[in-house]
């Protein structure tokens, strides 16, 4: 990791940055309007340290969101290495649902930052679509999803994930919803018996 001036960051400065990101993720996942002073205090750093690393709320939110999106999208590659394509797709959808529900405050913070831009302009949209493309392509190759299913079709099919209520029994609701999605995208697949 490099410092703002382009040189290597000291190990204590790197630890401070990582701790700020860790606390920011937890706090922003709970509430969009968490004060940055609270994040600094819980991270055990002064506000000056927080602002040296993240000059404003937007920079902090973008960094946290980008990190979480990378974890989500990297999971697609890892799952495809260790599972059959249809099992990888289902497992990834579970991770996507957890991301959508657990990061509700972070998602709202991102919506406030980017305003009302269309989905393709949203930070993280491209990497998530790339992960979906890889999963859909692997399933087409294995014959485990219906022929002709496009990435756009799939994105429309999973859009309900964002409607899951985190205050209720979201795990059961998510499981039922994702089972329905999988049944739909796999119906008529040539590789299914």
What separation, in Å, do the N-terminal and C-terminal C-alpha atoms of the chain show?
50
Are 18 and 42 within 8 A, CB to CB? no
Summarised one tens digit per residue, pLDDT across range 56-112 is 988 998 888 888 889 999 999 999 999 999 999 999 999 998 888 777 666 666 555
Q: 0.75 cut: is pTM over it? A: yes
DSSP state of 160: G
Contact call for residues 192 and 144 (beta carbons, < 8 A): yes
Answer for the pair 127, 70: CB distance below 8 angstroms, yes or no.
yes
pLDDT digit string, tens, across residues 149-170:
999 999 999 988 888 887 788 8
On the question of pLDDT at 114 being above 60, the answer is no
């Amino acid at each position: 990791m490099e410092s703002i001036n382009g040189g290597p960051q000291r190990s204590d400065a790197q630890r401070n940055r990582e701790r700020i990101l860790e606390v920011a993720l937890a706090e922003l996942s709970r509430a969009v309007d968490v004060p940055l002073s609270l994040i600094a205090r819980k991270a055990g750093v002064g506000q000056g340290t927080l602002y040296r690393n993240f000059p404003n709320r937007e920079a902090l939110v973008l960094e946290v969101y980008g990190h979480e999106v990378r974890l989500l999208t990297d999971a697609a590659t890892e799952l495809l290495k260790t599972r059959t394509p249809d099992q990888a797709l289902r497992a990834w959808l579970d991770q996507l649902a957890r991301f959508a529900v657990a990061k509700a405050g972070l998602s709202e913070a991102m919506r406030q930052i980017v305003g009302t831009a269309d989905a393709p302009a949203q930070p993280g949209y491209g990497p998530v679509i790339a992960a979906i493309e890889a999963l859909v392509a692997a399933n087409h190759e294995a014959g485990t999803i219906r022929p002709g299913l496009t990435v756009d079709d799939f994105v429309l099919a999973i859009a309900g994930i964002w409607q899951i209520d985190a205050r209720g029994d979201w795990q059961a609701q998510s499981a039922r919803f994702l089972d329905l999605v999988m049944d739909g995208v796999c119906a008529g697949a040539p590789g299914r018996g």
